[in-house]
Structure 1
Amino acid sequence: MPLSVEEGAERYLRHVALELGLSANSRSAYRRDLVAYGAWLAERGVPDLTRVTPETLSEYVADLASPHGTPDGEIRPPLAAASITRRLSTVRGMHRFLFEEGLLDAHAGSGVRTPKRAQRLPKALPLADIEALLQAVGGDDPVGLRDRALLELLYASGARVSEVTALDVDDLLAAPGTADAVEDPDTALGSGGFVQVTGKGSKQRIVPYGSYAGRALAAYLVRARPAMAARGAGTPALFVGPRGARLSRQSAWLVIKAAAERAELSQEVSPHTLRHSFATHLLAGGADVRTVQELLGHASVTTTQIYTQVTADTLREHYLLAHPRAK
């Protein structure tokens, strides 16, 4: 029995509204996707949804991913992979629902694959920009000492900003053979140490940091944090605000943004920029991918290997500049 796109779409939209509880904005987006899909079927002479096959949907995806002319003579660029994925998800959802309701004999979208999204490489800062960023924070006042320690630890550890703001003082561990980091931070942290980070899924990992971060942490813990924490309710948080409460993730982001502006960096800098820079600089310096995986807290080495593409570009650039027969 024939089933028009309009009728199938209305049934599906009622389903997502009543049974799935989608918002009005989501339902509007679904409707736009289905109207565009219906128009595409009409252009290809497909009269109703019972005539749609997996090949039809594969052709639909290919058409969305290809530039083509419009009736007014312009060239429509291909849709981005994310947009194609969203449209196909809506269309497949409708076909699946209508099949499960017994209104279609087959689910045409069951074997149609979504296009792979383009992999975006992380944007790491050059070492000179990192230096400028870190030099842009600091000072002898409590907030300046805290901000310098915060940025030094973010870059030294590669930890996520949420992981660093969640640290307690007791999460700082002294390097072997030194004094206790909490009891005597000025002595213990100066040459570097370790920090116990709690990542995604409450998984803990131990990450080292060097002397630059160690000295900044020691200065903050000795000369700034005691007075700042005394204004609050005795939080164990490592990084605190002027009123003694744990520093928020949003406040840490503002510290980084302000430092980037003072350093006059051309590239946009986010908390994740320091994490990307940490990983890229380690690999460029010869660190093993699996070591970097452990330091970042990635569950799979595949996630970490995206950084090897960045360093490969650097290697190629150096090769082209240095090898006598490279060009």
Structure 2
Amino acid sequence: MAVRKDEKSGKWLVDVWIGVHRIRRLLPDKRTAELVEKDLKLKEARGEYLGIREVKAVTFEAFSRDYLKYVETNLSAGRYREVEILCRVTFVPFFGSRYLREITPKVVEDFKGERAKRVKASTVNESLNVLRAMLNLAVKWGHIQDNPVRQVKRLKLDAVEPPSLSAEESNRLLEACRENRSLYTFTALGLSTGMRLGEILNLTWADVDLRRGIVKVRPKAEAEGVTTWRVKTGDLRDIPVNDFLADVLARHPRHIASPYVLPNPKGGRYTRVNMQARLRKAGKEAGLSIHVHPHLLRHTFGTALVAGGVDLDTVRRLMGHTDIKMTMRYLHAAPDRLAGAVQTLPFGRPIAQNLDSRSGG
């Protein structure tokens, strides 16, 4: 609605777009506001307009720089890197010179189509999710009135079971890591807690409480020897430690000058790429045919819990999922639970039993 009452001031607000320009003005009454709106529309029809509180048009490229500053301040360092790469490599080359006002649902559909030619459907959908978050902020900041991504459907995804390791494969991987103490502890943490890569790399000894038998997932503030880090979902959680992991952590050597459980030789954090490469190499040495990466350890944790009969909400809480739909991906590991569930229904009897009872009567 171009004319509406402003709840804070009690006045009437004219809020219209003329081309790529946004014009806003508070007026004392509805009648005056409607007259100003009509005047603006007449000016637009003639190719001119009254410059009343004009909001400067912003290109996507300029907005993306402001958005990245917002992400750097409010989200995790890992998320910042992901969004920065996506903006630089994907979004800016496609949307860069367009004004935000010019990005319509049709333009977003064109982007989706082009993206789908190069990457898998799940990656396209993740790109759309990030773009939607960006333009939600553009709405909040007053650059545009509506988010065009909201009208664009995501690509349909085929159901895919998360890959995981069997118990035998997990033990082979641990054995291949045994000569490298840090890698062995990293793998034990991933398999026994389901922690994400960033959560393990940022784990400090202050987060480990072997007396209570837990490890804590907590954000990190800048301090001596510690780099600022935020939990991905913002979900702080305490994860119980089993006997195997408790023994691994108790035996793990501590770096004299570092608070991290798994510091690099200089006492800082290992990079994600470094740990990914080392784990991939260990997987090959273990003779595993599956591609081994840190998130595979997390999938193995979730799959093993569900297969062991742990209820989904408990698994969700242990893994830090905000949406139980993420946890439901692991139901494939327990088909017998589904079959057993329907057998508990209290009504009816098998047809054969009904026929036998009739013939006997």
The residue that corresponds to 1:208 in the other structure is 240
- Structure 1, unmatched stretches of 5+, are 1-13, 32-53, 65-75, 94-106, 177-192, 317-327
CA distance in 2, matches of 1:308, 1:256: 27
Distance 1:161 1:18, change over 3 A: closer
The residue that corresponds to 2:169 in the other structure is 129
Specify which of 275, 279, 287 is matched with residue 264 of structure 1.
Answer: 287
Written as runs of structure 1 = structure 2, the 5 A alignment for 1:157-168 is: 157-168=193-204
Amino acid at match of 2:167: L
1:19 deviates by: 6.9
The residue that corresponds to 2:301 in the other structure is 278
CA contact (8 A) 1:122 1:276 kept: yes
State the TM-score, normalized to the length of structure 1.
0.56
Amino acid at match of 2:183: D
The residue that corresponds to 1:145 in the other structure is 181
Q: Looking at both structures, which has the greater relative contact order when contacts are Cα pairs under 8 Å and sequence separation is at least 6?
A: 1
1:248 deviates by: 3.2
> Identity of counterpart residues, as a percentage?
25
Is 1:117 aligned with 2:137?
no
The residue that corresponds to 2:217 in the other structure is 197
Q: Deviations over 1:240-282 (max 9, x none)?
A: 2223333333332233112101101111011100000100010
Is 1:243 aligned with 2:266?
yes
CA contact (8 A) 1:153 1:209 kept: no
CA distance in 2, matches of 1:260, 1:302: 29
The residue that corresponds to 1:219 in the other structure is 251
1:18 deviates by: 7.0
Amino acid at match of 1:282: L
1:219 deviates by: 1.9
Q: Deviations over 1:125-184 (max 9, x none)?
A: 222211111111113xxxx222212211111011111111111112111245xxxxxxxx
Q: Deviations over 1:6-40 (max 9, x none)?
A: xxxxxxxx954677688696465469xxxxxxxxx
CA distance in 2, matches of 1:82, 1:252: 23
Distance 1:259 1:84, change over 3 A: closer
- Structure 2, unmatched stretches of 5+, are 1-57, 66-86, 97-104, 136-145, 219-230, 340-361
CA distance in 1, matches of 2:299, 2:248: 21
1:124 deviates by: 1.2
CA distance in 1, matches of 2:312, 2:296: 19
CA contact (8 A) 2:258 2:268 kept: yes
Q: CA RMSD in A?
A: 4.9
CA distance in 2, matches of 1:24, 1:289: 38
Amino acid at match of 1:150: F
CA distance in 2, matches of 1:219, 1:84: 43
Instruction: Say which SS state the counterpart of residue 136 (structure 1) adopts.
Output: helix
